[in-house]
Amino acid sequence: MAASRGRMERNSCQGKEKKMTWRNKDDVTTFYFSRFPEGIMEQDMWQIFQKWGKVWEVFIPRTKNKLGHRFGFVRFKEVVDVQSLERRLDNNIFIGGQKLFVNRPKFDRGKVYKGAQMDKRTSVKEGRPRSYAEVVKEFEPGQTSSLNLVEGAHRAEKDNHRPMILCSNKENTEWLHKAWVGRLNNRGMFERVEEELKWVVEDDVNPCYWVDDWVLFPHMEESRAARLIHQEKENGSTPISELQKWSPKIRPTHRLTWVLLWGLPPTVWEVDYMAKVLVDVSEVV
């Protein structure tokens, strides 16, 4: 009975010393990062880090480190080679021309200072992961910066994705021999081409957006395509221009997509202002 009680007391003490959460599981790896521009926030770093693995959490405190730099922590899940990932993160991420500093956090290297009691130091037991709150208290307080949309768009991080080669066969591409492609006269129509162009073609042809400002017309007869070409040439009465048979030589350069902007005050909800925000990203249509 005494031995059993002793085990229970030891287990109880251990439970108080270390509380298990998903953050200190074996398959979760934490990295410390610093030296990034003031306008970069947690959602920006999330997008950058997710190119290198499965990101589970990004945290940027409102304080700065002892050198006066902003810093944060990122947690990856299921990292196979921790040292290799650390080197790649530290060597290949540049934001606005500034290199990001990344390494494993050394949570047991320093002392923790509580509040204004600078003379009362509390040591952290070796082997127990310190929480974010404990680590943040070690650094000098700083100021919180607001999101800088233009600066956040300047991301020159090196892309480390491996190339993918896909080989098609004749059976998969046979339908393309009867397909036609054309350019939208109004590029803002790209998300509703099926509804807008259904009256232009027969019921058995389902137009669909392809890429850039190109629209694909599968299984369209040449006679119908010839009539559309004639109508557009004579009076410009169709929403399609440059209608032609599909060819692998057609190489679009970009794709139309929606971009979500947040934080813009209502006073600048105009296309010209939004285009200025996205000037370093792409062209607004």
Can you give the residue ranges of every domain in the chain? 22-153, 170-245, 258-285
Question: What local confidence, expressed as pLDDT, does residue 198 receive?
Answer: 66
Using alpha carbons, select from 190, 245, 186 the residue that is nearest to residue 218: 245
CATH topology identical between 22-153 and 170-245: yes
CA-CA-CA-CA torsion sign (278, 280, 282, 283)? positive
DSSP symbol at 280? T
Instruction: State which fold the 170-245 domain adopts.
Output: Alpha-Beta Plaits (3.30.70)
- Give the CA angle between residues 129, 11, 112 to the nearest 5°: 25
What's the CATH superfamily of 22-153?
RRM (RNA recognition motif) domain (3.30.70.330)
Q: Is the dihedral of CA 198, 204, 206, 207 positive or negative?
A: negative
d(CA 233, CA 198): 20
263, 204 Cβ separation under 8 angstroms? no
Distance CA 95, CA 70 (A): 13
Residue 221 in 3-state DSSP?
coil
Query: What is the C-alpha to C-alpha distance for residues 127 and 163, in angstroms, rounded to an integer?
Result: 41
Q: How far apart are CA 224 and CA 207, in angstroms?
A: 13
Q: By the 8 A CB rule, do 274 and 284 touch?
A: yes
Cα–Cα distance for residue pair 219/230, rounded to 1 Å? 19
Best CA proximity match to 187, nearest among 255, 282, 114, 109: 255
pTM (two decimals): 0.35
Q: Which of 62, 64, 66, 76 minimizes the C-alpha distance to 25? A: 76
How far out from the chain centre does Cα 127 lie?
Answer: 34
Inter-residue contact 161 to 85 (CB < 8 Å): no
Compute mean pLDDT per 10 residues along the chain, 285 residues long, and list them.
44 47 68 89 90 89 86 90 90 85 69 36 41 48 37 43 69 79 72 67 72 77 82 76 81 70 80 81 71
Q: Three-class SS of residue 165?
A: coil
pLDDT digits (tens, 9 = 90+) for 148-161: 333 343 444 444 55
> What are the pLDDT digits (tens) for 40-90?
889 889 989 988 888 888 999 888 888 888 899 999 988 888 888 998 998
